[in-house]
Amino acid sequence: MKIVVHGGAGKIPIEDQPDRKAVIDEAAEVGLAEDAPLEAVLAAIEVLEDDPLFNAGYGGNLQLDGEVRLDAAVMKDDLSAGGVINVEQVKHPTAVARKVMEDSPHVLLQCEGATEFADQFGMTTTEDLKSSKASERWEEISAEVHGLPYAEKLAKLAEMIEGHDTVGAVAWDGENMAAGTSTGGLRYQMFGRVGDSPIIGSGVYCNEYAAVSTTGMGEAIIRVNLARELVYHVERGESPQDGAEKSIERLKASTNSQAGVIAIDRQGRVGSAYNTRDMQYSVKET
């Protein structure tokens, strides 16, 4: 088994970097102990979803209305895929995404429908998913936009919205591959906003050639279909590393934005690239 796990791209506070890297390494080790790529991806991501240092699960950003809503998607190399958008009361949205893939006739479920689906399978929680760190950040921005007319509020959000620390993993067992991505979305995003993470081809993609997870500014990632773009390069015979670098270059040239990617191909070759200041990731193999 070989696994690559990332903890998001952006400006990671210097003081948090050692602790975050230790958790990412732990997540990779946990995933490595599994027997199949999808199980490895899910196990690794759930470690990150449990840790408030990351913008996923319990550490997910609060949206502008003060609620935590999460996005996630998983995909296998046979093109089976599942995802959830703006799901509530769920600590492990990747687990729900897997259920959508395996136990529903759909690929994506959103909002109340996704939450109801999770509840039917006993995957919702009464636990408070608002971490103290995320709540403090929300209180600061909420005070600044409270009472503003709608148009002014949108303009203010455009200046202040941030958060690139989506998490994800890709894995290969010598035969098959899987990929997954999980996020709390942009900090202070409006209710109803959909980022790249649950979008097949943007935040995650996996086929018989390669598995990819992305992180960064979702609106830009969606515009260039970043995960699928990387896989196109591998399909043309390029290495995952070359594909990762070229995909990030294209995103920068086309959108002047920032992102990071990790990838693994059917030969077990790994690729990673980013144009943010930081992106921590871990590669482990047995």
User: Is residue 155's pLDDT more than 90?
Assistant: no
* Catalytic hit among 115, 124, 166, 181: 166
86: left (phi over 0), alpha (psi -120 to 50) or beta: left
**C-alpha to C-alpha distances, 209 to 98, 139, 233, 237, 248, nearest whole angstrom:** 21, 45, 10, 10, 19
Q: Tell me the average pLDDT of the chain.
A: 93
Helix residue ranges, H only, the chain: 17-32, 37-49, 93-103, 111-120, 132-145, 150-160, 218-224, 226-235, 240-255
Domains of the chain: 2-285 (3.60.20.30)
245, 221 in Cβ contact below 8 A?
no
**pLDDT tier at 160 (50, 70, 90 boundaries)?**
low
SS3 (DSSP) at 187: strand
pLDDT digits (tens, 9 = 90+) for 45-103: 999 999 999 999 998 888 888 899 999 999 999 999 999 999 999 999 999 999 999 99
**C-alpha to C-alpha distances, 268 to 172, 240, 284, nearest whole angstrom:** 6, 10, 11
Residues 6+ apart with CB under 8 A from 241: 269, 270, 271, 272, 273
Measured from the Cβ of residue 164, the count of other Cβ atoms closer than 10 Å reads 26
182, 71 in Cβ contact below 8 A?
yes
Any idea of the CA torsion for 8, 9, 13, 14, to the nearest 10 degrees? 100
Would residue 166 show up in a list of annotated catalytic residues for this protein?
yes
User: Is residue 134's pLDDT more than 90?
Assistant: no
pLDDT digits (tens, 9 = 90+) for 201-257: 999 999 999 999 999 999 999 999 999 999 999 999 999 999 999 999 999 999 999
SS3 (DSSP) at 137: helix
Helix residue ranges, H only, 50-122: 93-103, 111-120
